[in-house]
Structure 1
Amino acid sequence: MEVARQARAHVARLDLSTAQVAVLDDQAHTARALWNLLHEFSTFRQGRLASVKECDTAIRAARREIDWMGRLPAQAAQAVLRTYRQAWANFFNPAHPAGRPTFKSRPRTRPAVDVPQARDLNITRLNRRWGAVSLPKVGRVRFRWTRDLPGVTRGGPAGRITGARLVKDAFGWQIVFRAERQVPAPVARPGPGVGIDRGITVALVLSDGTMRAHGEWLTSGEKERLRRLEKTSARQRRTRVPGRPASRRLARTYDRIARLRATAKRRAVDWQHQTTTELARTFGVVVVEDLRITNMVRTAKGTVERPGRNVRQKAGLNRAITGQAWGRTVTLLEYKTRDRGGLVVKVPAPGTSQTCHRCGHRDPAARDGTRFSCVNPACGWAGHADTNAAINIRNAAGTAVSGRGDLGAARSAKRQPPRAA
Structure 2
Amino acid sequence: MIRTLRSKLILASMLSLLLVLTVIFGTVGILNYRKILADADSILAILQENDGNFPVGKHPEGENFSGEPAPKDNRLFSPELPYETRYFSTFLTSDGTVISVNTGKIAAVDTQTAMEYAQSVFAAGDPRGFVEDYRYVMYPSGEEAHIIFLDYGREMNSFRTFLFTSAGVELIGLAAVLLLLIVLSGRIVKPFAENYEKQKQFITDAGHELKTPLTIIDADAEVLEMDIGENEWLQDIQHQTKRLAQLTNGLILLSRMEEQPQVEKIEFPLSDMVQETLETFQALAKTQNKTLSGQIEPMLSMTGDEKAIQQLLGILLDNAVKYSDEGGRIELSLKKQKNAVQLSVFNTVEAISKEDLSHLFDRFYRADKSRNSGTGGYGLGLSIAASIVSSHKGKITASSPDGKSLRIAATFPL
Which bin holds the TM-score, normalised by the shorter protein?
A: under 0.3
TM-score of the two chains, using structure 1 as the length reference: 0.19
Greater radius of gyration (CA): 2
More helix by share: 2
Higher relative contact order (CA 8 A, sep 6+): 1
